[in-house]
Every structure is written in C-alpha cells, then in structure tokens.
A and B are shown apart, each in its own frame.
Chain A
C-alpha cells in the first residue's frame, strides 16, 4: 500500500528525511515513532502531497504521489496533528463538503455521514458550528471526515491528542477493525502504549533515518532487553543513536551511518522489502 523508496527531504542545509525506504502492506497498522524533529511529520506530509520529496519516490496504492497526486489522494484519509475545520460550517456541513470533494455518490452521503456520527458519537454537536468545538470534538470530526469515503489508507499524525479516554479507546478499536478489513493504518505517535497495543509493526526514525523496523518483540530481541516496555526500548534505541551521532563529530549528522547492529540485522533493508509482499 505504501512504498517509500530512498526518499530524501531537505530544508535548506538540514536533511529532515534521509534516504528513507519503507514499505507497508495492506491490512497493517503501522506506527511511526521517533523523537521530536525526527522526520515523522515531514514523511507524512510527503505522503499526503503537502511536500514534495527532494529525491526519491513515494507510491500510495501504486500511484506516485507527485506524478499521480490526485489518484493517490483519492485512496487516502488524513488526520493531521492540528485538525482544520471551517469555523462557520457545522460538522455535518463539513462532512457533506468532504463527501462531495471525494466524489461520493449523493445517495450514499447521508448514510455514510450517519455511520460516522454513530462511530464517533458526534450526535451532540454535529449540527453546531465548528467554532464552538473543543479540540477533542474537532479531532473526532476530522477522524470522521478522513474515514467518510472509506479510504484504503488512513494516515494519522498523533491520533490521541485531545481525545478523552473513551474516544481514544474507540479510535484504537476502529484502527484494528479497519486494518482487519484489509485497509492500512499509518500513524505517527508519541504515545508508545498505543503503538505497543495495536501496531503490527513499528518504525523508529531519528534524524531522518530509520533506526528500526519490525515488531516490538523483534526490537526486544535486537536490544537484548527482554521484558522491557516499548518506552524503555525506544529510549535505548534513540539514545544509542544520539551517542553515535555525537561521536561522529561536526560532519553532517544526516550522513552518519546507522550502527551496524541495526544496518545489517535481520530487520534491515532486506526485511523491509520482504514485508512489502502482502
């Protein structure tokens, strides 16, 4: 579903994403982890067409996100970290607008909206102006709008920000169910517990480069930290990378090689390619 091939994105001199290669098959919940400024949001913005890669290629459902951007966007539902709604529209009007934008058949629009209203429990505020919504309400409407056209790929940047525990639980259930139906969920998050709970695989990125790709169990094996929580594993991995980067001196940090333990292990590039087979 997602094919990211040696993608690099620079901001002036800074390399935000450095030769990133990542394949995510259909039917998987994938969690993208990393410290602040690691390159997670930049990767997501390239996937949804907001930024163009400086080098490399991204395909969504076989469509190049630069050359066939509209086709790619048609199969994607995106929930940004800062949801945007039109303040002077009600939630229902906004959902209707989104449905029309995705060219949904007019007969099915009302039913699709009602389904999302049920799913995210929007009854109380769906017909109020968005300007009166709390952050959590906005987030729920944005989730509803992203799922309205039943996309093959759901991309979520920080899914749990602003959600109450009940809504967060609901979202986790939806992610799992959605993936079981053969769709893909790609989420970037700092909430490691969610990643541990529902993600089939995780990817840890730091300084624009993938440090680890695989399941949490594989990460435990890799770091020889059996029984540790994902939080411990994450911290161990990113600290190890920081030490490697610091010891590399004043050269460009983006070109510092990944430690051999990560580069040549069973979860490296070969495994990534193998994973791309559904």
Chain B
C-alpha cells in the first residue's frame, strides 16, 4: 500500500477546534512566553549589564534626537524656500511617498529574511512543531515576531521624521495621536508580503532559495540603478540641483504616488491630519481617518492571508526544506586553495589552511557575500554617477571634500560588514573550540588568519571603489597626491576595522549564542560599531583637514574667516608637508588600531 502525501487534506481550523488547546489559547500562551522571556532578559540586563543597557539606550536617544533635529531643519528649509502652497504640498507629498515606498520595499525584504531564520531555521520552531500547537498559529506568531524585529528600525527612523514634520508645520494634537496607529497598520502590510514571499519560496523553490534571493537582490539593484540614473540624468539640458531639475524630478516621482500603494495611504492620511484644512466637503481629519481605515483593513486582510497560506504552505515547506540538508557540496577544483597557498606563501601552513577554511565558509554563506556585493554595487553606482553632479562652479575644496566623504562612506559600509560578519566569527569559533583548541597550533594564528581574511576580502574592493570615486571626481589628474592619500586611508581603514572586529570579538566573545546576527547586535557588536565609527572619523579628519587647506592654497581662493588664515599660517596646514604628515599619521593610527586590538584579542583568546 502506498499513499501519496499530497493527497492528504490540509490541516484545517476544524482540527484546531476539535482537539486539545485552541488556536487562540496557543497564541496567548506563546505571547505570554515571549513576554516572560523579554522580562527576564530586561531584568538580567538591568542587574548585570547596566553600562551596556545605558549605552544602548543613550545611543538610541542620541540617534533619535539627531534625526529629529536634522529633519526639522530640512523641513524648515523646504518651508522657507518654496512659497507656493500647491508646490509645497506637492513636494511634501512626493517626499513622504518616496520615503514610505522605499521603507515598504525594505520592510518586505527584511521580514522575508528574518522570517526565514526565525521560522524555518530555529530550534524553537522545531520544538513547537512537535507539540499540539497548530502550525498556522506558530507561523503567525513568527510573523508577528519578524514584524517586530524588522519594524523597530521603521519606528526608530520614521518617528523622528514624522514628529519633526508635525512640529515644523504646527500640526494639531490628533496628528501626533494618529502616528502610532498609522505606523502599526502600515508595517503589517510589507511584513505580511515578506512572510508570504518567504513561504512561497521555501515551499516551491527550496533548492533555489539562495539563488532566488540573489536574483531578487540583483534585480532590485538594477531597478534602483535605472531609477537613480533616470532621476539624475533624465532632465536634459538642466544642471542638477537647480529649481528646474527639482521640478522635473518631482514630476518623475509621480509613479510613487499611486493610490493603490499603502505608502500613499499612509502619506496622504498623515499629511491631511497635519493640515487641518477643508478638503472639498470633507474635513482633513475625516480624510486621515479614512486612510487609516483603509490601511488597517488591508493590514488585517494581510494577517488573514498569511494565516490562510501558512495552513497550506508552512509545514510542507518546512518538511521540504529538510531535503537540502543532505545536499552534497561539489568537491572544489582546488583552484582557490592553490591561489591562497601561492599568495600567502610566507605564512605558516596552518594559517593558510585556516584562511582557506574561512574563505570557503564566506563563499558558501550567501548572506555574507550577497550583502557585500549589494552594498558595494550600490556604492560603485553612486561613484559612477558622482560626476553628473556638475562641479563647474564649485570650489575645488568641495570636490576634495566629496572625495573624502566617499572614503568615509566606504569605511562606514565596511564597518557594518566587519561588525556583522567578522566580529561574531570568534564567538562562533569558540563554540567549536574543541577543534581548534586541540590542534597543535598557536592560538594567535587563528586570530591573525581571521584578520588576514577580513583584510583580504575588503582591501581590494574598497581600494577599487575609492580609486573609482577619485577618477570620477578627476582628483587623480588634478591632485594625484590626494588619490595616494585616499589609498593610504583605505589601507588603514581595512586593517584597523578588521583588527577591531577580530580583537574585540576575541576580547568580548559570546559563546552561548549561535546566531551571528544576535552576537553582532549584542554589547560587543555595538561597541565595535561605535569604536569603528570613531576610528573612521579620526582617519578621515586627520587626512582631510591638511588636504582641504592645501587645495585651498593651491587654488588661491579666499577663506571665509580671518582667523582661519592665522591658524593656517601658524600651523603650516596649507603646505604639502602637512598633507604628507597627515598621511603618515593616518598610517600610524591605522597601525596602532591594528596592533593594539589584535594583541588584546590574542591574549584573551589564549586564555579561553
């Protein structure tokens, strides 16, 4: 007798009602459990890690305040610049629509990724699926959790912007009261879409999932690139950032204002709530509440749709995914190994073997290389377009400043990469410490191999990106020495950021956690990101100040204030010597930031 499983009826709500605990009770139990766990974690954080908790809280508050002030200034500038009320309303509508549509896309993708790891790859779900909890309820619980994980960034970013807007236009009280319901209703829709996408991909394309994500990511980059290109280059015969260009760009953004987009309902509702004027026969509050109703209705429908699909797709997809666990990796041709052995020939053999192991892990972990490729592709695209912002009448110092800022941007992207992927490596290695700990090798080699791995994969793309930026800004022809300084900065950043991540990772390991993203989000990861940002700022400031004044001296433009002249004369900042000294200081700072964290890390790692 042979029964084909697909002939089975799906687990239905009837099953939920007929037997044991009801679906609603399961939902309540799971949330009660989550609340209990969160409370326990908070208690522990307050009892044993006050500094860490205070730092996280402080940084969040600082971020919120900075965003609030920045956007308040920005909105005030727009209000002060545009006189025509119609154009002003149109401008704000375009800004809000574009902003929320972008967030909609990001929330969709991030929820899909988060749900994949929390619903399909988590030990908790593996356990829950063996209990009488209905799979539909488990998936809905994970959907809510993923929404929370991916939505907090939306709240952190969106709330200061919307509050700033409300304060600038002196919005009535109900605008502020409606912010939370609007944001809550909105966030459920993209996260629902992401959940559905994840379930469909896992159920029907389990073997293609990495490739699917890579194709989606690549498609996203291409669309974004085409859109940005059309935005910047589409207005022929007009200089960028002129009023004409601005008007034409607003017209080109009209497609973001489709009435069927949830971002449109959110933008329209909030903008109407902020301006208590009559709109035809309806008051603005009525329009706002109408939009909120539309959003809430769609959010609830999305919730039902997720539940309906979960009933049909979740357990089957979960079961199908297990097929992948036995897939064998094609034996590599050994080309990568021979390249590493040849390039790293002065290193001891164990270090080369460790390097090969890490490179292999990197290449097989699509989440690592895909994020690396996406971020650096976006940067490359921006750098390719940077000349389009014509600098004909701009001060040469500004061109150099843009070049310096580009170096800083590359550094910041690299810092997020090292924090997310390099910092947790030691913690994860620590869990498998019985392998490396029992080998007859110096433990310091383990750390140095990780440092070389991080430097190796970051140095070439970063260096090429910065060279591209300098070429597009024509810095390499006008001031070749600055291009050299930028390359020194790049080398210092790659070495310093890699050493910080590896060293701090060894100094503050989290051996209990198995998820690299959670390790990166912990205290050590946060500290690494903060220190990395400080290091990038220091590197950029040390080199850019003498470069800026040297270019000023070269082009004989006048400085805005007299005291600056006195400072330059007194310090010799405007000379080529100052530029060279700046570059040397950058190299020294890079070396110190490499050696000190690595030594500290090696000492800690040897004591493990």
Contact = CB atoms under 8 A, between A and B. Distances in A.
A36 B20 CA distance: 36
B7 to A, nearest CB: 10
20 contacts: A6-B1, A10-B323, A11-B323, A19-B2, A45-B322, A50-B319, A50-B322, A56-B3, A57-B1, A70-B11, A70-B16, A70-B132, A71-B19, A76-B130, A78-B130, A88-B36, A97-B33, A101-B133, A103-B132, A129-B40
B326 interface: yes
Contacts of A84: 123-124, 126-127
A88 B130 CA distance: 21
A93 B37 CA distance: 10
- Most chain A beta carbons < 10 A, residue from B40, B131, B135: B131
A62 interface: no
Contacts of B2: 6, 8, 19, 55-56
A49 B131 CA distance: 9
B131 A102 contact: yes
B9 interface: yes
B41 A88 contact: yes
Contacts of B44: 88
Contact of A51 (B16, B36, B207, B319): B319
B327 A12 contact: yes
Cβ-closest 9 pairs across A and B: A11-B326, A84-B127, A103-B21, A88-B40, A52-B319, A88-B37, A48-B130, A57-B3, A73-B132
Interface of B: 1-5, 8-9, 11, 15-16, 18-21, 25-26, 29, 33, 36-37, 40-41, 44, 123-124, 126-127, 129-135, 207, 315-316, 318-319, 322-327, 512
Given A57-B1, A103-B21, A66 B8 contact: yes
B1 A5 contact: yes
Contacts of A69: 11, 15, 135, 315
A254 interface: no
A70 B20 contact: yes
Contacts of A101: 21, 26, 29, 131-133
A67 interface: yes
Given A14-B326, A98-B131, A103-B21, A55 B4 contact: yes
Interface of A: 5-6, 8, 10-12, 14, 16, 19, 45, 48-57, 64, 66-71, 73-74, 76, 78, 80, 82, 84, 86-89, 93, 97-98, 100-103, 129, 131
Given A6-B2, A66-B5, A73 B130 contact: yes
B36 A100 contact: no
- Most chain B beta carbons < 10 A, residue from A14, A78, A88: A88
Contacts of A68: 15
Nearest to A48: B130
A102 to B, nearest CB: 6
Contacts of A10: 323
A100 B25 CA distance: 9
A93 B33 CA distance: 9
Nearest to B40: A88
Given A5-B1, A6-B2, A50 B129 contact: yes
A50 B130 contact: yes
- Most chain B beta carbons < 10 A, residue from A50, A56, A93: A50
Given A51-B322, A103-B20, 8 more contacts: A6-B1, A6-B2, A50-B322, A64-B8, A68-B15, A74-B19, A86-B33, A100-B29
A157 B40 CA distance: 31
Contacts of B124: 84, 86
B15 A55 contact: no
B131 A50 contact: no
Nearest to A52: B319
Nearest to B28: A100
A70 B29 contact: no
Contacts of A82: 123
A5 B4 CA distance: 12
Contacts of A78: 130
A51 B21 CA distance: 22
Given A53-B5, A84-B123, A89 B15 contact: no
Contacts of B127: 80, 84
B21 A102 contact: yes
Contacts of B3: 5, 55-57
Contact of A70 (B8, B33, B134, B322): B134
Contact of A73 (B131, B318, B512): B131
Contacts of B36: 88-89, 93
A67 B9 contact: yes
- Most chain A beta carbons < 10 A, residue from B16, B37, B132, B134: B132
A76 to B, nearest CB: 8
Contacts of B133: 101
A128 to B, nearest CB: 12
A206 to B, nearest CB: 17
A14 B326 CA distance: 8
Contacts of A89: 33, 36-37, 40
B440 to A, nearest CB: 28
Given A5-B1, A71-B15, A49 B40 contact: no
Contacts of A71: 15, 18-20
A74 B132 contact: yes
Contact of B512 (A56, A74, A98, A131): A131
A190 B37 CA distance: 36
A110 to B, nearest CB: 17
A78 B126 CA distance: 12
A19 B1 CA distance: 10
A73 B315 CA distance: 14
A11 B15 contact: no
A50 B129 CA distance: 6
A215 to B, nearest CB: 26
Nearest to A85: B127
Contacts of A48: 130
B136 to A, nearest CB: 11
Nearest to A78: B130
A16 B33 CA distance: 36
Given A5-B1, A98-B131, A86 B37 contact: yes
- Most chain A beta carbons < 10 A, residue from B16, B18, B19: B19
A55 B1 CA distance: 10
Nearest to B322: A51
Nearest to A94: B33
A210 to B, nearest CB: 16
Nearest to B133: A101
B132 A52 contact: no
Contact of B29 (A12, A53, A97): A97
A186 to B, nearest CB: 14
Contacts of A80: 126-127, 130
A191 B41 CA distance: 39
Contacts of B37: 86, 88-89
Nearest to A42: B322
A51 B5 CA distance: 11
Nearest to B321: A51
Nearest to A10: B323
A80 B129 CA distance: 12
Contacts of B319: 50-52
Contacts of A88: 36-37, 40-41, 44
B145 to A, nearest CB: 14
Contacts of A55: 2-5
